[in-house]
Structure 1
């Protein structure tokens, strides 16, 4: 969150965000009760934080292994030249197994989080999708063995 946005938030806004981080399905009236304000106040504060881009929406959290996606990995991607970035990113948006994409410093130009149903599915994604994108020089893949921490930041 930028300094500009944090300066526009007060303790009530931070309290609302903390409640929503714990459970984004908490009804506005329940938030109002916890914060000792009216439901209308919560609506106004939520609208303000949405307009500022602090709240971008809500997401459902899925248990991916229960849906058959048993492999999670990270792919470090070397892009051959700066002018290839836009094209590579646009092409990677079309690969549904890529669930996060980060532009990075260090050894890799791009770091992607990929979920797959199996190692053979991962191999297919790497060989037939990711590595076939023009502008990708090469990749390094790291398979996640487990995820002992999975949390949002608490304010």
Structure 2
């Protein structure tokens, strides 16, 4: 039987610190927590192996880069094949995040697109036209991220 590894307060502190600054070094993490770089290294390996830390990334300012940030709330008809729809969405260049959801929408899809409205319309149509079991799509343009905290 596989051994179950527990997450403790130090692991949670590491995740919290990295969610604020993913560029922290093992040395900086060790100093902040009051432990050694070697222990941080072992814990980081464990957290990555367990899938708790899935990715290190940045949060760009899309507006400054000349892009629009759009969220599509997609409601599917009952019986829709969600997994195959997700596979199809993963192949779309402008689709950056795909989330399964409970509530009004079955899927929440984050899209980064050039600011040209005709191009945005074309991108949204190319995304939604491939989903045969769509019931409804809500489109939201994100104008500003006021707070972004992952943990």
Using structure 1 for the length normalisation, give the TM-score: 0.79
Could you say which residue in structure 2 is the equivalent of 1:33? 31
Could you say which residue in structure 2 is the equivalent of 1:107? 104
Query: Within the alignment, does 1:74 sit opposite 2:71 as a pair?
Result: yes
Moved over 6 A (4+): none
Whole-Å Cα distance in 1 between the matches of residues 135 and 125 of structure 2? 13
Question: Does the CA contact (< 8 Å) of 2:62 and 2:69 recur in 1?
Answer: no
Q: CA deviation at 1:83?
A: 4.2
Q: CA deviation at 1:124?
A: 0.6
Going by fraction, where is helix more abundant, 1 or 2? 1
Using structure 2 for the length normalisation, give the TM-score: 0.81
Question: Does the CA contact (< 8 Å) of 1:29 and 1:38 recur in 2?
Answer: yes
Point out where structure 1 has 5 or more consecutive residues left out of the alignment.
Answer: none
Question: Does the CA contact (< 8 Å) of 1:78 and 1:108 recur in 2?
Answer: yes
Q: CA deviation at 1:40?
A: 0.9
RMSD: 2.2
Point out where structure 2 has 5 or more consecutive residues left out of the alignment.
Answer: none
Q: 1:128 to 1:30 in 2, by over 3 A?
A: closer
Whole-Å Cα distance in 2 between the matches of residues 134 and 106 of structure 1? 20
